[in-house]
Structures are given as C-alpha cells and as structure tokens.
Chain A
Amino acid sequence: MKRFFAFVKKEFLHIFRDVRTLTILIGLPVVLVIIFGYIVSNEIKNAKIAFLDYSNDNVTQQLKNDILASGYFIEENCFKLANDNKTVADKNNSFMSNAYSGDIDAAFKDGKVLMVIVFQEDFAEKIEREGIANMQIIADASDPNTATILIGYIQAIVEDFQRSMFFEGRESMEIVVEPRMMFNNELKGAYMYVPGTIAFILMLICAIMTSVSITREKEFGSMEVLLVTPLKSSQLILGKLVPYVFLSVICSAIIFLLGYFLFGVPFRGSVFDVVILTLCFVIIALLLGLWVSNFTKTMEIAMTLSLVVLMLPTLLLSGFIFPLENMPMFLQIIADILPAKYYLDAIKTIMLKGGGLMDVIKDFSILLVMIIVLVFVNIKSIKDRLD
C-alpha cells in the first residue's frame, strides 16, 4: 500500500505542478456550461412570425396576442389583407388561397419570417357554432430543429388558450391533443447541456488525460524505471487512475452545481443515482483511456486518437447537440456503441423526470456491460504486450 500511495502522490504532484492543464480542466467545464447554457441555447427568442388572418375577429386577435406575449415571437407584417380578397378565400373554404400562397413563399424565401400562421375565415364564428376551427402553422423547415421547437411553442400556447376558453364556460370544443416537449416545456438549453457537458468533460479528463499520462511515462522512458522497481503493474495502473477519478468528481460537481444554481436545472431524482451513473461513466472513460494508452507510444498519438475516437463522437453523436433521430443510419449505429448516449439518457431521466435507477435499468445495464467488456479488452491487451 505504501508503494501505491507513493505513486498516487507522485501522480497528484504531476497534475498540480502542471498549472496550465489543471486550469483548463477546471475552467473548461465552467466555460462550457455557461456558453452552452446562455449562448448556444436551444431556446429560441424573438422568432419572426407573420399572421395571415382571414377572420380577424376577437378570438384570432386574442390568440395572436397570446402568441406575441409569450416572448418567443415577434410579429412581422408581410401580408396586406385587403377586404375584397376575403371572398377569394371564402369560395373553397380552404385557408390557403392561391392568391396568398405566393406571398407566404416569398416571405420565407426572403428570410423575413420563420413561421406563418393562417387563420381560417370566420374563425370565431366556427368555434362558436361548430366547435371546430382551423388554423395552419407553416414553418420554415430548412432548419428542422428550430421549426420543431417553434411549432412546439405554438401548440403549447394554443392549448393553453383552448383551456382558458373552456373555463370561460363555452361549449365543449374539439381538443386536439398535440405532442408536447415533456419535462422541458420551453426546451431550455441548459437542461440538455448539463449532462452533455459532463459526458464531454469526463471523456476529456478520464480518457485523454489518463492515456496521455501513461504514454508520457513511456515516452520519457520512466516506464522502464518503474517496471524495474517492485511497483506492481496493477498498482501502477490504479495509481494512474485514482487522481483522475478525483478530478472527474470535482468537475462533475461543478457542472451539476452550476446547472442547478445558475440555470435552475431541476434535480428531481436522487443524487445517489446520479452519482452511481456518473461513476459508471467515469470508469468506462478511464478504461477507454487505458485501452488507448496500450497501443500508443507517444503522447501526441494518444491525444489525437482519444480526440478523434472518443471526444468528437461524444460531442457530436451523444444527442446533446444534434438530435440522433435526424442522423443517417450509420451514424446512429456508431452512436449506439457510445457510452455517452446511454449516460445522457439515464441522467436526463433521473434529473429532469425524477426517475430512479429502475427507470433507467436498460441504460444502466448497458453501461455495466460496457465496463465488463472494457475490463476484459484491457486485460487482454495488457497481457499481449507483456508476452
């Protein structure tokens, strides 16, 4: 044990002596969470919207007010609705008369608006008499993410509006149930980015730092010296991992706390479950780093390999920046073998939905299986090297 402690102490000295790297390791999660939380947020504010209102009655007026009052939209006047055009739309009772579709196209093409809402002729009257009225939402889907989010906002607003009308004592109305963005109604960016950033940072600390620190001993020739000493290789490897587990815990805590206090990310599940899952992910990342260090001889190669094979996929294919559902099949398959996807999924369920370990048992067991596989892979590749 004394040997082991002497070694761990040396590792900590290496880390603390390298102030620049340490600053990056501690500073990066803070900067990332803040950037992701504030700037690259998924929350869309002041999206330009235009209304094509064939009815222009008190109900549509109220709906429009509600939409604009939400803060997500600002109105752009693209359509001049002359009264005599009303008849054109009236004829076939469709809300998209030929006369206007051209205008809508133009509005989108000019980039003036991201969304157009069309209200049917005699909107209020139809609700009053038939209980059904139609409005159409046309979104600019050249950016499908934004379009989906904006549609979600509108649906939520309309639903609220319906409910308020219902409570005002009107006749029962056709209530069209629409999908909602559950657990994160406003799609607050920070919610996704907190677990996403943790996965990314843990990959950085555990995988890259570990592989670099082991290959450093090889590159500087100190590995030979260590192998001549009575230090066991298991002590050597564990001694390399311990300081990075410690750093990972600190960084994860910083990210969780920043998310909780700065961005009000809910923490509905138990802290214990999150800790267990995070440790699983830490172990996986460490094992990956160890595995990389097994077949690299220089720090540069170890660094590059970890960046390309571990970091980039974690960033791009874990579903925290780009939704996995929109990706081509082969990228989805790659995403399926990445631990980050399951970790993110489980953390989201626990943090945002208040689930327990049993609710994420699938993700959890996949992570455990990954640990077992990686332990075997590492043992095998270490053995191969010794022979």
Chain B
Amino acid sequence: MEREVVIEVKNLYKKFGNFVANDNLSFKVYKGEIYGFLGANGAGKTTAMKILCGISLPTSGEVTIAHLDFNKYREKIKLKIGYMSQKFSLYDDLTVKENFRFFGGIYRMSRAQIKEATVRLLESLDMMSLMDTIVGSLPVGWKQKLAFTIANMHSPEIVFLDEPTGGVDPLTRRRFWELIYQAANNGVTVFVTTHYMDEAEYCNRLCIMNDGKIIVENSPKELKTIYNASNMDEVFLKIVNRKHS
C-alpha cells in the first residue's frame, strides 16, 4: 500500500555565511509516523526543524508540507502544524486554562470549542483539578505533557517537537511518549528532534545527522541490525566514530 507522504524535503540547504548548517537534506515523512532526527548538538537538526516550521528560510531546496508547497502556502501550512520546544512549553504566569484559551484563540477556535477541548484534554490527562493553577507552579514533566496537549489542541496534521523532553528523568519521558503514541495512533504525524537514545528507540524511523548531513535513515530496529549493535547508543557512536576516523 502506498503510504501518504506529509513532509517531503528535497535538496535542502541552509547556510549561515560560510557555515553549512544543513547540507543537501532529502527525506520523506509518512502520515501517522513518528519520525526522529537524531544528532549531537550542532548537527543541524534544530535548524532543519525551524525551516520546516516556517521560522527560518532555507537557502535553497524544496519543501512540501501537508501537500502544500512551502514557499506559496506558508500561512496555510501554519494552521496544519503544531510546535513544541524544550526551551518553552507554556506561559508560566498564566493558569492552565488561560494557556488553553490563548493558544485556542490564536488558532481561531471559538469560545465553545476551546472550552470543550480544554475539558476533554484535561480529563484525558487526568489534570482537571489543575484548571486554574498557575503553570509556573507545576513540575516540568506535567508542563511538558500540557504543552504537547496544547500543541495538538487545534488538531494539526503534523506536530513538531524540538527536544521536547529535555531535563526530565527517563520515567517521565516514557510517560510523555505514551502521549505521542496516542497522537500518532490518531493519525497525527510526529516529527521530533532528540539527542536522547532511549527517545530515539521510540521512533518509527530515524534520521541520524552529523555536521549538517544525513548519515543514515532507517528504523531503529534495522539500524541495530545493520550496525550490529544492541542499542541505539552503540549505533550512534559507531556512526559518529566512523565518520571521524
């Protein structure tokens, strides 16, 4: 069965002066897939994600997102994507409800829609009692869950997660990934950048980057077989070391 392509990137370059942050990237992401960008800091994964999200412009290359040409329909694409980063999850000085209301309002949801979504989503997270709590007082893991939920509130086709689980323990990370799987099961495509190897294992397909180039792209299982490794940690080290030697 031919799977539906939701992100297609062809020959993407991003240069900052002489520095090439993204060197000829080409890849496809299918609907409902959890696609991971794995790489060391400075490998160029965040730069690539910023281009896909429309925050930054590519130097050259073709990008199609949700069947829409990146250059022509940037505003339309924005309605179809959600974004969450490690650096910022939610507004700390607003309550949970106010955060929902703000992001709902930005996506032109009606008052009733926002209300319905807030209740439904908080119930699914088992966080109804936190409705009027100031976000700043919540633990990081909870904030990240809320942020992911809010990034999904306007039912986007693709959600971009930029190192979403920074600074939390593996157990909390696992809980967070349960949410990601749930979303993927509902047909949402998840594009995630990470440098945690346990997170890499959770992805359907992985793209390992180094020095702005895609080194290899495959499923975690295949990668482990190819590189004859027991876990992703080994795979990653083998790839990076081979590159440097």
Contact = CB atoms under 8 A, between A and B. Distances in A.
Contact of B53 (A10, A17, A18, A228): A228
A154 B8 CA distance: 86
A224 B85 contact: yes
Interface residues of B, number: 28
B244 interface: no
B105 interface: yes
A17 B135 CA distance: 12
Interface string A209-222: 00000000000111
A227 B55 contact: yes
Nearest to A17: B93
A165 interface: no
Interface in B187-233: none
B98 A7 contact: no
A178 B82 CA distance: 75
Nearest to A235: B106
B158 to A, nearest CB: 11
Nearest to B78: A230
Contacts of B98: 10, 13
Interface in A1-55: 2-3, 5-7, 9-10, 13-14, 17-18
A5 B85 contact: no
Contacts of A230: 75, 78-79, 106-108
Interface string B72-84: 0001001101111
Contacts of A220: 87-88, 92
A194 B150 CA distance: 47
A221 B105 contact: no
A229 B107 contact: yes
Contacts of B83: 224-225, 228-229
Contacts of A327: none
A181 interface: no
Interface residues of A, number: 22
B106 A222 contact: no
B91 interface: yes
B189 to A, nearest CB: 15
A13 B95 CA distance: 10
B91 A231 contact: no
A230 B103 CA distance: 10
Contacts of B102: 6-7, 9-10
Contacts of A227: 53-55
B173 interface: no
Interface string B108-139: 10000000000000000000000000000000
Nearest to A14: B93
A229 B153 CA distance: 12
B143 interface: no
Contacts of B14: none
Contacts of B88: 220-222, 224-225
Interface string A301-342: 000000000000000000000000000000000000000000
A17 B94 contact: yes
A296 to B, nearest CB: 18
Interface of B is mostly: mixed
Interface of A is mostly: helix
B91 A222 contact: yes
A221 B106 contact: no
B101 interface: yes
A18 B136 CA distance: 13
Interface in A217-251: 220-222, 224-231
Given A18-B93, A220-B88, A3 B105 contact: yes
Nearest to A223: B88
A223 to B, nearest CB: 8
B85 A225 contact: yes
Given A224-B83, A228-B54, A229-B78, A6 B101 contact: yes
Nearest to B84: A225
A221 B85 contact: yes
Contacts of A9: 101-102, 105
Nearest to A386: B57
A330 to B, nearest CB: 38
A222 B87 CA distance: 8
Nearest to A6: B105
A5 B181 CA distance: 34
A221 B78 contact: no
A3 B46 CA distance: 27
Contacts of A229: 78, 83, 103, 106-107
A220 B93 CA distance: 12
Given A10-B98, A222-B91, A225-B88, A3 B108 contact: yes
Contacts of B101: 6, 9
A5 B105 contact: yes
A371 B63 CA distance: 40
B73 to A, nearest CB: 12
B16 to A, nearest CB: 12
Given A229-B103, A230-B78, A10 B91 contact: yes
B55 A224 contact: yes
B99 to A, nearest CB: 9
16 contacts: A2-B105, A2-B108, A3-B105, A6-B105, A7-B102, A13-B93, A13-B94, A13-B98, A14-B93, A220-B92, A222-B88, A224-B83, A224-B87, A224-B88, A228-B78, A229-B106
Given A3-B106, A227-B53, 14 more contacts: A3-B105, A6-B102, A9-B102, A10-B94, A18-B93, A224-B53, A224-B87, A225-B85, A227-B55, A228-B54, A228-B81, A228-B82, A230-B78, A230-B106
Interface of B: 50, 53-55, 75, 78-79, 81-85, 87-88, 91-94, 98, 101-108, 160
* A-B CB proximity, top 9 nearest: A6-B105, A221-B87, A221-B88, A228-B83, A230-B78, A10-B102, A17-B93, A222-B88, A228-B53
